[in-house]
Amino acid sequence: MKVWPRSLILSGRKTPFALFVLYASSVFGQSSLLIENVTVISAEQPGVKADTSVLVQNGIISRIGRVADMPEVAEPDLQRLDGGGQFLIPGLIDSHVHLGGQAGLEGAETAKKSRLIDEFHQAEPRSFLAFGFTTLIDVSATPARVDAWNRLTTRPDLHYCISMPFANGYGMAFAPEDTRFDTPYFLYDEKQANQIPEKHVLSDHTAEAVIEKISQTDAICAKVYYETGFGGLFDFPVPSVQLIRDVVTHAQNAGLVTLLHGNSLEAQRFAVQSRVDVLAHGLWHWTGYNGEAGIPDAIRQVLDDVVEADIAYQPTLQVLFGERDIFLPEFLDDIRLEEVYSSELIDWYKSQEGGWFRRRLKKNYVNNPKLVEAFIGAEQETDSRDTMLPSEAGIDRLGRVVTYLHDNGGRFAFGTDTPSSPTYANPPGYNGLMEIRRLASFGVSPESIFAALTIENARVFGIDDTVGSVEVGKVANLLITGSNPMVSIEAYDDIEWVIQRGEAYRRSSLVQIEE
């Protein structure tokens, strides 16, 4: 088993978070909060604590105890919440999001509809809170975007990774050739020296040099890629095992977590060989085994290796569901969407222009029968009626992977990849509830889902010193739910209060729904 570099993560990282906590009271000027008579559930402790009171001061949990043992709090502006009959749990963590996107719009439409996108951005932080997500990790953010987010008052805490794309590989291949190398964080490839502008030199783009640059920022993680082209649609160059091992070694020394994008059999083998900390995405391209039933030996072997190497796993089921669901016309009639999208935006999704990504996906399938065949793992009449088949075949394989990992000691870190593509079927916040339901449908227990959403996610990303559990000294990012998440995952759809750094919001105040 790999020894988790916990000490490195905690000691090596600069702590902007701690600084923020120090100033939190002056930033928010908040009063103290006393939650009374509540049942506390926290994944690092067995059982529940009934009839408990929790005191929050300056955004931090300062005391947890029996109701009778709580001190008289003399603060005149003390806010009290009666938690009778309710549950107090840690706020949820989504460790794979992409914030500040274009709300599923593209090209000229983004300029024409910039107001819709602005409104979407205004609602986005509240949408995540409304579904219980009080901490997010944007896995490919820029420091500037994170700063802008952190200036908002009502928002989940945001951490981020910096992307380290391989030269001309996935993560930079879609950018125009003359600007794609403008990132200081790409990894050089000597074999491609001819395809890299001369002003970019190897010494600035080795594993060590790039990790050194990332360690100058507040990022907590570095994201690398192993993507040959989505099962045959593209042909991207990929890094060597040695290069990513170097990244991992230098990242560990700098207190950074490494995350590998990889959803194919080769990519997940590569993750094991290169010893990354986290696999972003489940294994859905079974390369050569796609049509097989059960769990073929080659798949079983790599999953066993992932467990043995203690690599945390983000299944991101909603990537495939998001590509399937845009072909379901009734998806846009789901009234829950009105909690996160304006009615104007939903109307646009229903319009002819709003269907552009659905048409593009369909075109991909129709123009690439080999791709569809590979995805499905069987000969397939590529018929435009069957545009949901590739993602459904992937979902079916991924479901088996998730069940196998759950039954064999896999370590899940909850991440949705919201949004994984310009699909409206990955709505902010709500996508998390959908991901939870999908995990449960593949047999992941309520206990495992709860841990993956809270303490496991915090430990994997080295933020468990501040969040992930209900403990004295931690940031008061908490939820009050009407039912018990250890009994049923529907507790995540039964949230009454969202407490963000000690500030309590009624859930209903965080959703849009206009009259």
Beta strands in 181-324 (DSSP E): 221-225, 257-261, 278-280, 312-314
Q: How far is the CB of 160 from Zn ion (least distance, A)?
A: 12
Q: How far is the CB of 386 from Zn ion (least distance, A)?
A: 26
| Closest CB to Zn ion among residues 209, 436 | 436
Q: How far is the CB of 513 from Zn ion (least distance, A)?
A: 28
CB within 8 Å of 439: residues ≥ 6 apart: 315, 317, 402, 412, 449, 452
Return the structure tokens found at 451. Answer: 């841990």
H or E stretch at 307:
helix 297-308
Q: Which amino acid makes up residue 134?
A: T
| Closest CB to Zn ion among residues 431, 466 | 431
| Closest CB to Zn ion among residues 189, 417 | 417
Backbone angles phi, psi at 278, to 5 degrees: -135, 135
Backbone angles phi, psi at 269, to 5 degrees: -65, -45
Give the count of beta carbons closer than 10 Å to the beta carbon of residue 515. 2
Comparing every residue's Cβ against Zn ion, the nearest one is 417
| Closest CB to Zn ion among residues 35, 161 | 161
| Closest CB to Zn ion among residues 39, 416 | 416
Instruction: Tell me if 435 contacts Zn ion by CB under 5 A.
Output: no
| Closest CB to Zn ion among residues 416, 500 | 416
Q: How far is the CB of 139 from Zn ion (least distance, A)?
A: 6
Q: How far is the CB of 417 from Zn ion (least distance, A)?
A: 4
Contacts 24+ apart (CB under 8 A), 111-115: 113/348
| Closest CB to Zn ion among residues 227, 456 | 227
How far is 305 from 322, CA to CA, in rounded Å? 29
How far is 460 from 452, CA to CA, in rounded Å? 10
| Closest CB to Zn ion among residues 223, 324 | 223
CA 32 to chain centre: 31
| Closest CB to Zn ion among residues 61, 173 | 173
Q: How far is the CB of 92 from Zn ion (least distance, A)?
A: 18
How far apart, in Å, are the Cα atoms of 350 and each of 126, 139, 344, 380? 24, 30, 10, 29
Q: How far is the CB of 98 from Zn ion (least distance, A)?
A: 6
Of residues 407-426, which lie at the interface with Zn ion (CB under 5 A)?
Answer: 417
**DSSP string of 222-257?**
EEEE--SSTTTT-------HHHHHHHHHHHHHTT-E
Of residues 160-199, which lie at the interface with Zn ion (CB under 5 A)?
Answer: none
Question: Residue 252 in contact with residue 221, Cβ under 8 Å?
Answer: no
Q: How far is the CB of 236 from Zn ion (least distance, A)?
A: 16
Return the structure tokens found at 191. Answer: 């074999």
* Total of chain residues touching Zn ion, rule CB under 5 A: 1
CB within 8 Å of 420: residues ≥ 6 apart: 98, 316, 318, 319, 322, 323, 426
Question: Residue 239 in contact with residue 170, Cβ under 8 Å?
Answer: no
Pairing type for strands 257-261 and 278-280 reads parallel
Give the count of beta carbons closer than 10 Å to the beta carbon of residue 328. 12
Q: Which amino acid makes up residue 277?
A: D
Q: How far is the CB of 287 from Zn ion (least distance, A)?
A: 21
Q: How far is the CB of 467 from Zn ion (least distance, A)?
A: 21
Q: How far is the CB of 495 from Zn ion (least distance, A)?
A: 25
| Closest CB to Zn ion among residues 53, 258 | 258
Q: Which amino acid makes up residue 92?
A: L
| Closest CB to Zn ion among residues 167, 280 | 280
Which residues contact Zn ion by CB under 5 A? 417
